[in-house]
Chains A and B, each alone.
Chain A
């Protein structure tokens, strides 16, 4: 079992560029989320999904898009990268409410 797989692990973007952070899970979990982790700010929810075809916004959704076409995949798209989006991004999945999330190992993104 691979769990939650995030790619790439590291990425440097120029301001204005777009990119997609990939997230895949092989545990047949319905719930998936994207978080960003910044020093002094903790983990903040960007977008989440409760199943294929269903997504919703979290605490800090601006500048990011998501889609959930399959149960396994939940990509995060940066439309036009800004230095404020420099952060570590985590994808997580869960099989149900109240049972906890499994996190990927993160993508460290730098926007210059």
Chain B
């Protein structure tokens, strides 16, 4: 059983379209992190959300942490080819456990076509 479920698993869109990626769990996390990974490289941190209901914006990317701290979403406005990559959500402090251990979802592979 995957602790963090990401959907969709694959997403192929045209440049200029909007999209939302979801990260869901039945467990409560103390924080959720979003990473972006390109082929042959390690994940790169995009954002950390720690408060239920929190919304953070990073240029065209909007991240939201659910009120109950069990889920999160990533919304991209007007996607560009440079947004192509594997998007990973990761939770820390699952159900009051260690904050040092991250649990990752399987990722959403996004392709933005010119």
Chain A residues packing against B (C-beta within 8 Å) = 4, 31, 33, 35, 40-45, 48, 50, 58, 90, 92, 94, 97-106
Contacts and interface: CB of A to CB of B under 8 A. Distances in A.
A86 B106 CA distance: 18
> Which of B88, B102, B103 gathers most chain A CB within 10 Å?
B102
A88 to B, nearest CB: 9
Contact of A103 (B43, B50, B93): B43
A100 B106 contact: no
B36 to A, nearest CB: 11
A4 to B, nearest CB: 8
A98 B42 contact: no
Given A42-B107, A48-B101, A90 B42 contact: yes
Interface residues of B, number: 26
Nearest to A102: B45
Interface of B: 2, 30-31, 33, 35, 40-45, 48, 50, 88, 90, 92-93, 99-107
Interface of A is mostly: strand
Contact of B30 (A41, A98, A103): A98
Nearest to A32: B100
